[in-house]
A and B are shown apart, each in its own frame.
Chain A
Amino acid sequence: MKYLLLKHYRGGPTPVTGMPMIDKWTPEEISAHVNYMQEFAARLQESGEYVDGQALAPEGTFVRYDGEGRPPVTDGPFAETKDLIAGWMVIDVDSYERALELAAELSAAPGQGGKPIHEWLELRPFLTAPPTITE
């Protein structure tokens, strides 16, 4: 079963740690954080549970249809929305418990002082194809 692990810049429950912005970290702390993420993805590739992962730029533009023959309407770009998705990872695992375990592991990425940042991650199951046998 596939799950989307969503990493938010903002939004979601109140952060556990003060979460000072990453520009207040030391270069070594940033490197340690980045390495942790890369090693996490590499471990998932090795375990056969990795599907995809991407990071997103913080700025996004809202776009919508504005009628036949008219150019799309845009709003933004916004950097100051309430909820901001920073990136995602898609995993394919055998159970919900395993997905929770992996999300918790990712949330333990080191931050200031090398301590886990306890970041909230959002876990969303993929909708699947319907099973063949239902009755």
Chain B
Amino acid sequence: MDEVALRSLIPGVLGVLVRRGADFAAAEDAVQDALIEALRVWPADPPRDPLGWLVTVAWRRFLDAVRADAARRRREDLIDEEPPPGPVPAVDDTLRLYFLCAHPSLSPSSAVALTLRAVGGLTTRQIAQAYLVPEATMAQRISRAKRTVSGVRFDQPGDVATVLRVLYLVFNEGYSGDVDLAAEAIRLTRQLAAAIDHPEVAGLLALMLLHHARRAGRTAPDGSLVPLAEQDRSRWDTALIAEGVGILQTALSRDRLGEFQAQAAIAALHADAPTAAETDWVQIVEWYDELVRLTGNPIARLNRAVAVGEADGPRAGLAALAALDDTLPRYTAVAAYLHERDGDPERAAGLYADAARRAASLAERDHLNRQAARLNSHRPG
């Protein structure tokens, strides 16, 4: 059994412990202990029944912790040592776990950390490495998050939108440390989609698949960013695209549009174009109109201006841009691009250099500096 298959068992194990009466925080610690034990022991000695093994070990760890705790407090131990026959892990347990770990009382970074550990079955060390913080810091973040939700009933229904925001954050973090967070976000969203029938869950899954499909084309061998229009489309993963498009079409047919379905529709139109020149920008603008209507998000408005520039020409794009706040991230980069297309390389070069200074990521800064350098070196005189 590989590590991913092992981790897919974790929510079920946790659900069993909680339904046997363990409180969430203690159960989660016990499951993490069992997981670390499994990672150590299984390669040499794989169990016949992995789920049963995990439940047994985790329950034993939980009882040990309760006993230690009870001994410390010199109190009678009232926990029944023989667990009632545990019902099989239910789909509902998994769903409740997602809700709890993305509870609105948690800060975004806490919800992300707790979700990756309790639902994803990642170890604290792996999560710390993924987010480039010390393991002790991540351990604290997780235990605080557990304290924050300690008063929340496990069986309380939650808001699926908060779960989706957490999964979106994990996906967007991409790939910086040892753990492929994009792949993990997809796995968790698939698992969620299996537990709840909801068009926006499907929309987010489709969005992730469609972007993940382009991953190989997005960076050059030297690690630099390749803009969408210049990507080698033969490197896109056509199977993932087909799956994403299929999931999206089913979701859209239910006529309950939401922001993730709209974003996925835009990604699908890009994925659908055999070449950048054949992109259906008119339809993309229409989807951005929907997205702006649904969210009012200023970033969606900015991206809409880019799409308008492609559909109706750079002047129209610049007009759409003029209505927006020029302190938005990437505003200057968009202005540079539109001015270049409008035949003003000098102004574009200055704006690219300005945008590079404001870039939030290193790869983006390098890319914008290269754009400025390209225009400056081609200018006559």
Total interface residues in chain A, CB < 8 Å: 22
Question: Contact string, B205-233, partner A, CB cutoff 8 A, digits 1/0?
Answer: 00100011001000000000100100000
Which A111-135 residues sit within 8 Å CB-CB of chain B? Answer: 125, 127-135
- Docked complex Cα distance between A71 and B374 (Å): 36
Which of the 9-residue segments A17-25, A41-49, A74-82 touches chain B? A41-49
Which of chain B's residues have a CB closer than 8 A to the CB of A129?
A: 173-176, 361-363
Decide if B364 touches A45 in the complex (CB within 8 Å): no
- Docked complex Cα distance between A71 and B303 (Å): 52
- Docked complex Cα distance between A60 and B138 (Å): 34
Which of chain B's residues have a CB closer than 8 A to the CB of A135?
A: 228, 266-267, 270, 303, 306
Determine if B241 is an interface residue (Cβ-Cβ < 8 Å). Answer: no
Determine if B137 is an interface residue (Cβ-Cβ < 8 Å). Answer: yes
Determine if B108 is an interface residue (Cβ-Cβ < 8 Å). Answer: yes
Decide if A92 touches B270 in the complex (CB within 8 Å): no
Q: Which of A2, A50, A128, A130 contacts B134 (CB 8 A)?
A: A50
Decide if B361 touches A128 in the complex (CB within 8 Å): yes
Which of chain B's residues have a CB closer than 8 A to the CB of A47?
A: 140-141, 144
- Docked complex Cα distance between A133 and B175 (Å): 13
Decide if B303 touches A127 in the complex (CB within 8 Å): no
Which A31-59 residues sit within 8 Å CB-CB of chain B? Answer: 45-52
Q: Which of B144, B175, B361 contacts A48 (CB 8 A)?
A: B144
- Docked complex Cα distance between A92 and B141 (Å): 11
Which B266-281 residues sit within 8 Å CB-CB of chain A? Answer: 266-267, 270
- Docked complex Cα distance between A131 and B182 (Å): 11
Decide if B134 touches A127 in the complex (CB within 8 Å): no
Which of chain B's residues have a CB closer than 8 A to the CB of A66?
A: none
- Docked complex Cα distance between A92 and B138 (Å): 10
Decide if A132 touches B133 in the complex (CB within 8 Å): no
Determine if B51 is an interface residue (Cβ-Cβ < 8 Å). Answer: no
Which B243-269 residues sit within 8 Å CB-CB of chain A? Answer: 263, 266-267
Chain B residues near A (Cβ < 8 Å): 107-110, 113, 131-134, 136-142, 144, 168, 171-176, 182, 207, 211-212, 215, 225, 228, 263, 266-267, 270, 303, 306, 330, 359-365
Given contacts A49-B137, A49-B141, A94-B109, 4 further A-B contacts (CB under 8 A): A48-B113, A93-B109, A128-B362, A129-B174
14 of the cross-chain contacts (CB-CB < 8 Å) are A45-B140, A48-B141, A49-B137, A50-B133, A93-B109, A94-B107, A94-B109, A128-B362, A129-B173, A132-B173, A132-B215, A133-B263, A135-B266, A135-B303
